[in-house]
Structure 1
Amino acid sequence: MVYSNKHGRQERRMPASALVFTVAVVLSFLLIVLWILAFPHEVSSYSNATDAVAARRKRETDHWRRCTWRGAQDYIPCLDNKNYLRHNKAHKHFEHRERHCPSEAEQPKCLVPLPPGYKAPILWPQSRDEVWYDNVPYQKLVSFKADQNWMKKMEDKLVFPGGGTQFKDGAGQYINFIQRAYPEIEWGKNIRVLLDVGCGVASFGGYLFDREVITMSFAPKDEHEAQVQLALERGIPAVSSVMGTQRLVFPSNVFDIVHCARCRVRWHGDGGLLLLELNRILRPGGYFVWSATPVYQTDTTDQQAWNKTLAVTESMSWKLVAKQNSNEAAIGVAIFQKPKDNELYKTQKVATTMLPFCPDADNADAAWYVKMRKCIHRIPNSARSEWPAQWPGRVNATPAWLTDSQIGIYGRPAPEDYRADTEHWEHVVHKSYLQGVGIDWTTIRNIMDMNAGYGGFAAALIKQPVWVMNIVPITEPDTLPIIYDRGLIGMYHDWCEPHSTYPRTYDLLHANRIISSTKNRCNVTSLIMEMDRILRPNGWAIFHDQVEVLSKVQEILRSLHWDVFLTYKKDNEELLAAQKTFWRPDASS
């Protein structure tokens, strides 16, 4: 307010209400000062709490760094162990292509970057025929396999015409050729589970989906650039592996067919060691389908390879049930059958030529870092040697070799345990996972069940356009033979080590009690970092575990900028669904 004083000069005087406000502010300030002087520890506690919040926020954004070395975007820790490869030069038996995992201390604590221009993958079934080039930016195979019709580059995509080394005119025609050669092979009926050795970009397995056959494809990480990575990007099951000195990570007597089309394996080498490994994993009465130049070429080198391979198969009592050439396609196929029981071994005409039996103490199902042996495993004298029910009834049929005298993984007689588990996962998948966790299942194709048990989760999804890699951890009861009997695929693994797959290869990871079962052996942060490595951006993980275990998991996931959703909580159990984002740390982190 402006008024005139007694000298006639104008002055500004504070109104009464403003004066009261000013006095109140001053008194409040004095009270705060007095409180600080009287209770300094309270101020310290508030300051510490503020600092803790700031520190937590800093951890959430700065805890991770991005891997920056050349090729980091495709890093597979146990196959790209440069320290091991630098000091170990053994290559004769492909030892350098086998798993050599860095220790916990040696493993880089960083997140693999995305390839420049990476985008959400093309959805199945279109992905079988084309993928984004920027997602797997490698085209050496385009020129290297140009005459074999593996793949082509067209603008911003890689296109897969369905060809291969032995089936330039398409995998479909080749599949028909095999069935014509031996009609007892009925795709999608008695033949459901197949192993493709040296799979290339897995077009053979991709086209077998049309015949209700699921194929476990594998190839080494070698000069055939990113072949397994391309297979997985297409939505076809595959894993990086090699036939070297160690057994393949599968149980015995499980594959209906093992297939090799020009897979560059010297089957007769090392006394037939690699064929003996196929004999271990082939189901009794199963087939080895070999499509390669020794089968149909007549030059000296090929004929020598054929004769030597044939001699090994005879020493294992395999029977050559079909051999057929296609002059039109300029290919040929030989089909061998493993004995259905041990009787053929007893009637071997020239016993001195038969390879020795493995010792009884040699567990044929042991396959995690187990060396191959030059011996024949006897065929089980039990119902396990019987062929499973025809597909699709096979998926839920109780394996005949499960008996009430066996105790299942949940403590009940094995057949009852198996059936209860099947019903449980049928209910969970259809009443919860497919409806209640917020997942858009049209974007889901490649799934990994990290702790598969009987394979009930995968069986419940059998009518969905997905496939599941069932992992049986080496510390859990060995249920993998049951999973294969159901017509599903899987492998052994130890989650204290990284998996042999490329980054960004799965759309969904199912982690049922895997954290609690490994927390005393493995570093939880390292395990979640591995899940982040193999999951695609926008991919999902479903955790079912103890509440206190998942509280730690949530903290780690949020530090990785995943979107976390709590979908179920009862007593001490929690169901957590989380979606990975496209976030990667800045290069300067």
Structure 2
Amino acid sequence: MLYPGAYVSLQFIENFKEILPVIEWGKHTRVVLDVGCGVASFGGYLLDRDVITLSFAPKDEHDAQIQFALERGIPATLAVISTKKLTFPDNAYDMIHCARCRIRWDADGGKPLIEINRILRPGGYFVWSATPVYVKDEEHQNIWKATVALTESMCWKIVNKTSVHGTSVGVAIFQKPTTPSCYKSRQEDNPPLCDSSKHVHISWDDPLDGCLPPIPAVSTEDHSNWPLAWPERLKTKSSSLSSVEPGSATSYEEDSNHWSALVSDVYLKSLAINWSSIRNVMDMNAGYGGFAAALIDLPVWVMNVVPVNEPDTLSVVFDRGLIGTYHDWCESLSTYPRTYDLLHASFLFKKQSQRCDVVDIVVEIDRVVRPGGILIVQDSTEVMKELIPILSSLKWSSTLHQDEFLVGRKVSGALQAEGNRLK
């Protein structure tokens, strides 16, 4: 079944070799953000091409598009470009796509598009397929001209402007610069460059900037502007490691080896989980993304969450070709209820319990996990003793494996009703 807009998305993806051959789906372009995504057909079609697309749209009581996307098994989240930064690191996405989204990119001094520039990788592409691109009346053309002027001030260049094959829909493709040289040659410092000494890397509850984060100068051996092709980038050390903490390169290797062995020997073999029923996964304390990397051969996708009170490793996650977000687990998560099949928490609760009540975190987990879904917790014995009665009070079942791994199962409404009837 083709959902509204799906035909255009499919035609667009299939004809991209002609529109911009350098994209190379699933090789050069791996991590994509879809803005104002509708029912996420664009991201859904790209899954078969080894492209992981995080789709987002605001919550709408009349058209729960994100809920529908998640129910289809497509990565999606609730978000809006308004007054706050998006919860992603700088230079994260290989491509950002916006089709029929009603965003005035030049509004508020251009802050919405400047925010897109922040999270777009140097050399990355912004693909815009909205009415200002192809409708020729005065109102739409004024929006087009204002947006182009803004892109030029940010040193973006238009690499193609064409129509989607077989349709009347137009598409414009812009590219972010790979070096800072253009910024230095601008006649006006507008938008200005950000003050690197004041620039906040963890974008959580921070107002939109009106400035451009500087693009670092790199050598030919450095992959900070663009990582290796997929899937090599999954296991390649990221230059972002240097900004995490001293010794993080060693920690990264240890983390990768640890999760590769643990997932293979325990999670897939010993926890009695039917992984064929799992699609939407969240790692609540993702670190370097080792858990998600160890699951890469399974038909699942993982939302890698980096808690705001933990070391900022989210840039490393994106450099590996994975997706994720910042979050404060003392607050609710931006998603619809019952949207994830499995949540994973490795040594998360002890640190969070120093900031907020564990009961609140478990209640949020209960909200996010679908009926019949699963929670895997790796933690201390003390944490397990605290969690089991809380889960029980929410009608979850739980089992312990090796006194180190707790597997909680959220009882579905039908099973719970049957259990109550039998009592």
Q: TM-score, normalised by structure 1?
A: 0.68
Q: CA deviation at 1:338?
A: 0.5
Number of matched pairs: 413
Q: Determine whether 1:531 maps to 2:365.
A: yes
Q: Determine whether 1:191 maps to 2:29.
A: yes
The residue type paired with residue 218 of structure 1 is F
Q: Is the 8 A contact 1:192 1:214 kept in 2?
A: yes
The one of 123, 126, 139 equivalent to 1:301 is 139
- For residue 318 of structure 1, what is the aligned residue in structure 2? 156
Question: Can you list the C-alpha shifts for 1:369-390, whole angstroms capped at 9, x where unaligned?
Answer: 0000211111133546321010
Q: How does 1:189-268 map to 2 (within 5 A)?
A: 189-222=27-60, 224-268=62-106
Between the aligned partners of 2:248 and 2:144, the Cα distance in structure 1 is 45
Q: CA deviation at 1:275?
A: 0.5
Question: Can you list the C-alpha shifts for 1:529-569, whole angstroms capped at 9, x where unaligned?
Answer: 11011001111111111111110100111112211111112
The residue type paired with residue 369 of structure 1 is D
Q: Determine whether 1:432 maps to 2:262.
A: no
Q: Determine whether 1:505 maps to 2:339.
A: yes
The 3 A distance-change label for structure 1 pair 546 and 327 is: closer
Q: CA deviation at 1:401?
A: 4.7
The residue type paired with residue 128 of structure 2 is W
Q: Is the 8 A contact 1:324 1:334 kept in 2?
A: yes
Between the aligned partners of 1:406 and 1:258, the Cα distance in structure 2 is 25
Structure 1: segments with no counterpart, 5+ residues: 1-159
The residue type paired with residue 227 of structure 2 is P
- For residue 199 of structure 2, what is the aligned residue in structure 1? 363
The residue type paired with residue 390 of structure 2 is I
The residue type paired with residue 177 of structure 1 is N
The residue type paired with residue 477 of structure 1 is P
- For residue 108 of structure 2, what is the aligned residue in structure 1? 270
Q: CA deviation at 1:327?
A: 6.8
Secondary structure of the residue aligned to 1:232 is: helix
Between the aligned partners of 2:245 and 2:78, the Cα distance in structure 1 is 34
The 3 A distance-change label for structure 1 pair 224 and 377 is: farther
Q: Is the 8 A contact 1:472 1:492 kept in 2?
A: yes
The residue type paired with residue 411 of structure 2 is T
The 3 A distance-change label for structure 1 pair 537 and 183 is: same
The one of 212, 215, 223 equivalent to 1:376 is 212
The 3 A distance-change label for structure 1 pair 363 and 269 is: same
Between the aligned partners of 1:507 and 1:445, the Cα distance in structure 2 is 6
Q: Is the 8 A contact 1:364 1:377 kept in 2?
A: no
Between the aligned partners of 1:452 and 1:577, the Cα distance in structure 2 is 18
Q: Is the 8 A contact 2:33 2:95 kept in 1?
A: yes
Q: Is the 8 A contact 2:288 2:314 kept in 1?
A: yes
Secondary structure of the residue aligned to 1:369 is: coil
Secondary structure of the residue aligned to 1:275 is: helix
The residue type paired with residue 181 of structure 2 is E
- For residue 466 of structure 1, what is the aligned residue in structure 2? 300
Q: CA deviation at 1:354?
A: 3.4
Q: CA deviation at 1:420?
A: 1.1
Q: CA deviation at 1:242?
A: 0.5
The residue type paired with residue 577 of structure 1 is V
Between the aligned partners of 1:541 and 1:197, the Cα distance in structure 2 is 30
Q: How does 1:41-80 map to 2 (within 5 A)?
A: none
Question: Can you list the C-alpha shifts for 1:439-490, whole angstroms capped at 9, x where unaligned?
Answer: 0011100000000000000000001000000000000000000000000000
- For residue 111 of structure 1, what is the aligned residue in structure 2? none
Secondary structure of the residue aligned to 2:118 is: helix
Q: Determine whether 1:556 maps to 2:395.
A: no
- For residue 68 of structure 1, what is the aligned residue in structure 2? none
The 3 A distance-change label for structure 1 pair 530 and 223 is: closer
Give the number of the structure whose alpha-carbon radius of gyration is greater.
Answer: 1
RMSD: 1.7
Q: How does 1:89-168 map to 2 (within 5 A)?
A: 160-164=1-5, 167=6
Q: TM-score, normalised by structure 2?
A: 0.94
